[in-house]
A = this chain, B = another copy of it.
Amino acid sequence: MTEERDGLHAYEVVLKHIEAGILAGTHHPGDQLPTERDLAAQLAVSRSAVREAMRVLQTQGLITSSTGPGRGTRIAPSRGDALARIFQLHLMLSDAGTADLTETRIALERSSAALAARRTNARSLRKLRGLMVAMDGAEEVDEFNDLDTDFHVQIARTGQSELIADLTVGIRQAVREAIRTASAALPNWPEHRDQLRHEHAEILSAIESGDSAAAANLVEQHIRRAYVTLGIGTDEEPPNPR
Contacts and interface: CB of A to CB of B under 8 A. Distances in A.
User: Would you call the interface of chain A mostly helix, strand, loop, or mixed?
Assistant: helix
Interface residues of A, number: 62
A72 B229 CA distance: 45
Nearest to A173: B23
A93 interface: yes
Given A107-B107, A240-B110, A96 B162 contact: yes
A100 B164 contact: yes
A212 interface: yes
Contacts of A186: none
A158 to B, nearest CB: 12
Contact of A96 (B90, B107, B161): B161
Given A163-B94, A163-B104, A164-B100, A114 B241 contact: yes
A161 B100 contact: yes
A132 to B, nearest CB: 23
B163 A111 contact: no
A167 B164 contact: no
Nearest to A83: B90
B83 A79 contact: no
Nearest to A214: B241
Given A22-B93, A61-B90, 7 more contacts: A15-B59, A86-B86, A94-B162, A96-B162, A104-B108, A114-B241, A118-B239
